[in-house]
Amino acid sequence: MDSLLEEHEKLSRKAPLSKSLQDVQQTIDMLISARNSISDNPASAPITLAKLQNPVKASFDVIKNDLGEIYKGLGLWSKALDKKFKGKPLPTTDYDALSSQPSLINRAIGMHFLREGQFSVASAFLTEASSKPLQPSVSMNNGRPEYLMAAGVAMDTSSSEGLRKQFADMYYILDEMRNRKNLLPATTWARANSTSLEARGSNLEFELGMLQFVWLFTGGPCGGDHANPTECQQAALTYAREEFGNFQGRYLREIQQLMGAMAFCPNLMESPYRHIFHNDEAWENLATSFTREFCSLLGLSADSPLYIASTAGAIALPTLLKLQTIMKEKHTEWTTQHELPVG
């Protein structure tokens, strides 16, 4: 699969849709501006249209070139797919256990879009799924049609809207954390959910405070490398006195390490505390930890179930293909849809 990943990276790098969309939008803006100008002064129409000819033609040429790169990239990607999967048919759907439960599939897809922050896509998908529901294939389970067992699991408007708001809050907090180095929204959320986090044995609230201390100590709000070390230490010490009191019972050793680092301030890179104060992955690790705890309080796993199921399916696919070939040769069949006939 490494070759496919490499080709996919090339496609993303050499044929980005964002540039094409930007060029199309510039052309649209140009046409709208001309229309407004003619609407305000109809007598200027000939001049406005004459001035518009060359820029519009040039913009069309740019868009054509953009699309050429995209089509070229897609062509190479398609060839890579054909080369990788040539002569490898997909398993048949004779034993599709999910065909009788379309609502479960729709829910998984809708949830995946919400979890990825694709709120408009999730809304459009759920609207389409509700207005044009799939007809389930009826199969029996203990004398009952299986599609009846899936009743009520589809996401209604109110539940999807509630989840959308929750995930919108999560992505706002992650954006502030990753792109602005602002831990206040995350800290506010952690304090509001402190009881639930503590019941889970979570370290998130202290981890947020710890990174805030490190950020202050290393001059985050004072200009980074050009900050006054003394002022930075004082800001970090003041923060520690105000915030770390409630954590001493559980995190005394960690707090002592943070305080002890002050003695090595001129040369932290050579100190025993280097891994705390110069960790390039600290912000991303904390973002991952926050995502995991946020989803856990919603009763969800940190990773999308649809992604996990798709990955597991891709891993199992070669085995299933081999099994299907053997079954075809020996004229045997599966006896159940709820177990894989492999050891």
Buried/exposed 253-269: b ≥16 CB within 10 Å, e otherwise: ebbeebeebeeebeebe
Instruction: Give the number of other CB atoms < 10 A from CB of residue 77.
Output: 17
Is it the case that residue 194 has pLDDT exceeding 70?
yes
Binned at pLDDT 50, 70 and 90, residue 155 comes out as low
Write the DSSP string, 234-285: HHHHHHHHHHGGGGHHHHHHHHHHHHHGGGGGGGGGGSTTHHHHS-TTHHHH
Mean pLDDT (the chain, rounded): 81
Is the distance from CB of 45 to CB of 38 less than 8 angstroms? yes
Question: pTM of the prediction?
Answer: 0.64
Residue 135 to residue 172: CA distance in whole angstroms: 38
Mean pLDDT value of segment 60-70: 86
* 241 or 326, greater pLDDT: 241
Condensed to tens digits (0 to 9), the pLDDT of residues 212-250 reads: 999 999 887 665 555 677 888 889 999 999 999 999 999
Check whether 126 has a pLDDT greater than 80: yes
Cα 241 from chain centroid (whole Å): 36
29-33, 89-93, 279-283 — which is least confidently predicted? Answer: 89-93
**Amino acid at site 161:** E
Residue bearing tokens 């649809």 = 306
Q: Which two tokens mark 308?
A: 């996990």
DSSP state of 144: E
- Tracing tokens 């953009």 back to the chain, one arrives at 66
- Cα angle: 263, vertex 265, 266; to 5 degrees: 115
Confidence bin at 145 (pLDDT 50/70/90): very low
Selected residue with higher pLDDT from 16 and 231: 231
Query: Cα(80)–Cα(232) distance, rounded to whole angstroms?
Result: 53
Q: Which one, of 192, 150, 198, 147, lies nearest residue 169 by Cα? A: 192
CB 337 within 8 A of CB 141: no
Residue whose C-alpha is closest to residue 276's, from 304, 256, 252: 256
Lowest mean pLDDT, pick from 41-50, 189-198, 289-298: 41-50
Q: What percent of the chain has pLDDT over 90?
A: 32
Which residue reads 């992955």 in tokens?
A: 281
Please choose, from the candidates 212, 219, 263, the residue with its C-alpha nearest in 3D space to the C-alpha of residue 239: 212
